[in-house]
Amino acid sequence: MTSSRPDGQRSPTLEEVAEWAGVSRSTVSRVINGVSTVDPELRELVQRAIDATGYVPNLAARSLVTRRTDSVALVVSEPDDRTEQTEPFLNRIFTDPFLGRITAGALEVLRPEGIHLVIMPAESPAHHHVLRYLRQGHVDGVLLISSSDEDPLPQQLCDLGIPAVLSARPGKPLPMSYVDVEQQVGAKLAAEHLLAIGRHHLATISGPLDMPSSQDRLAGFRAALAVHGHAYVPSAAGNFTRASGEQAARELFAAHPEIDGLFVANDLMAEGALQALRDLGRRVPEEVAVVGFDNSIAALQCRPRLTTIHQPLEEMAAEMARLLLARIGKADPKPRSVIFHPRLVKRESA
């Protein structure tokens, strides 16, 4: 039960709590921080003092000494060259179920540790802004969702010695921990499923080609088909939004009306493609089979429901958080990477 202080008044300090309890500042500090060498009776007394005064430790003072803030940032970064897009960055990241799943997974690990997560969008013009925030020491480390291999942020964090973990293999080799899914294997799963259900004219809608994960999915799809004698695979690139998927599908079918199997690099674009196919009067899956990627909520919300490649984003984010905490705890410089396995989820679209 905290007594609410009258407005504008400063919150009580350790010293005041100590006075209330008739002990020293040190003892109160020990109680707050759970140091065991405190007489149980005193501990009880101090606890009452804390409750009575409504004491909350002053973060600034504490972290000035400890050099810890007990919070980490989830930074969603966007490179320069993709800023001029139909859909604004913030719209995109807050519309894709992706971010919600990452957040959920990270919180799963961070909350029990008492660590706060702050989410910061970092589209390119505001990069320096976010960088300043991170350098000022607001957070102990960062979970970095970086989408382009041209993104300077990973390198910058590295240089500054700010603990960070990436959400995917970095474009350029970097001494940083990261988490990833076997992108190529996922694409292969999709390819082989499409072949297995008897499709012969396959095509793919990829993500932005400056992203390693997009490159991998595209390469994986092509490689798997090459093994089965398909030398040429039409493809079009989107930017992971529904609208871009719709657009890409239109282009693809305009140029290659014979396509009967489509692998789309995420579910949102697949949903857009489904839209395009409906407009074009192509029945799914009868005439065209569609496989997505992510197994997000979007895959369940479209008609027909999407066959897709599941990637365990929540677990991946949780692992990112674990890697980050390990890195923050000991200044252990050797980076680790953890790779997850994708799997095919069969539904109606293929």
Which stretches of the chain bind DNA, using CB under 7 A? 10, 13-15, 23-27, 29-30, 32-33, 37-39, 42, 55, 57-58, 61-62, 64-66
Measured from the CB atom, is 48 or 135 closer to its own copies? Answer: 135
Nearest-approach distance from CB 18 to DNA, in angstroms: 7
Among 46, 99, 269, 273, binds its own copies (CB under 8 A): 99
Which H or E run contains 61?
A: helix 59-66
Which does residue 27 bind out of DNA, its own copies, none, counting CB within 5 to 8 angstroms by kind? DNA
Question: CA 196 → CA 44, 188, 206, 315, distances in Å?
Answer: 69, 12, 21, 30
Cα–Cα nearest to 103, from 307, 328, 318, 343: 318
Nearest distance in Å: CB 27, DNA: 4
Which are the contacts of 316, defined by CB distance < 8 A and separation ≥ 6? 102, 105, 167, 179, 180, 181, 338, 340
Site for its own copies contains 32 (CB under 8 A) = no
- Binding its own copies (rule: CB under 8 A), the pick from 53, 103, 244, 349 is 103
Whether residue 304 has a cis bond before it, omega within 30° of 0: yes
Q: Which of 7, 41, 84, 258 binds its own copies (CB under 8 A)?
A: 7
The span from the CA of 19 to the CA of 16, in Å, is 5
Q: Taking CB under 8 A as the rule, does residue 282 contact its own copies?
A: no
> Rounded to whole angstroms, how far apart are CA atoms 117 and 119?
6
Other beta carbons less than 10 A from residue 306's beta carbon:
29
Asked if residue 119 binds its own copies (CB under 8 A), the reply is: yes
Asked if 90 touches its own copies (CB under 8 A), the answer is: yes
Smallest distance from its own copies to CB 80, Å: 17
Question: Any contact of residue 154 with its own copies (CB under 8 A)?
Answer: no
Which residue stretch of 16-24, 121-129, 213-221, 222-230 sits at the interface with its own copies (rule: CB under 8 A)? Answer: 121-129
Look at residue 116 and give the partner it binds from DNA, its own copies, none, a contact being a CB closer than 5 to 8 Å depending on partner kind: its own copies
Q: Compute CA distances 173 → 86, 237, 317, whole Å.
A: 31, 25, 21
**Where in 178-207 is the site for its own copies (CB under 8 A)?**
none
Across the chain, the runs of DSSP E, i.e. the strands, are: 71-77, 116-122, 141-146, 164-166, 177-181, 202-206, 235-237, 261-264, 289-294, 307-310, 337-340, 343-345
Residue 297: which of its own copies, DNA, none does it interact with, CB under 5 to 8 A by kind? its own copies
Nearer to its own copies, 103 or 124 (CB): 103
